[in-house]
Amino acid sequence: MRKQDSTNARNEASILRNCGMAYALNVIGGRWKPTILFSLLEGKMRYNELRKTIPGVSERMLVAQLRELEEHGLVRRNVFPEVPPRVEYELTELGHSTEPMLQCMSDWGNMHRKKEQVIAVQ
């Protein structure tokens, strides 16, 4: 839970209001969101599929990050009234609109990593 009156929370809020990039980081940042987003760019997936696709996520974290993505309107959660239950996650239009940004970050990250490796190897 968040403390609304901490300096920490106030600093975050004021930056989110003033800086689009910080805002973007808030929406797509976090330990597991990049991986989730890249998975969903391939197409819709069920909860357990995601869990198997993403090595290392705990259930708590996976659910939490999916919920945040949903709150921010990037992901749609479709529940089918079946037993055993079936829940599919897919990107919304807004979710798909992040693709160029994600690609940009991914490319930059990969380039930068390669540079580091080259330096390390020399």
Partner DNA sequence: ACGCATACTTACCTTTTTGTTAGTACTTAA
Partner DNA sequence: TTAAGTACTAACAAAAAGGTAAGTATGCGT
Applying CB under 8 A, the residues found at the interface with a second copy are: 10-12, 14-15, 19-25, 27-29, 31-32, 34-35, 38, 55-56, 72, 94, 97-98, 100-102, 104-113, 115
23, 74, 72, 25 alpha-carbon torsion, rounded to 10° = -20
The nearer residue to a second copy, 37 or 45, going by C-beta atoms, is 37
Does 17 help bind DNA (rule: CB under 7 A)? Answer: no
Contact call for residue 44 and DNA (CB under 7 A): no
Parallel, antiparallel, or unpaired: how do β-strands 45-46 and 75-80 relate? unpaired
Q: Which is nearer to a second copy, 86 or 112 (CB)?
A: 112
**Positive or negative CA dihedral for 70, 64, 57, 117?**
positive
User: How far apart are alpha carbons 68 and 27 in whole angstroms?
Assistant: 8
Q: Which of 99, 79, 81, 97 is nearest to 89 (CA)?
A: 79
The residues binding DNA (CB under 7 A) are 1-3, 6-9, 11-12, 30-32, 46-48, 56-61, 63-64, 67, 77, 79, 83-87
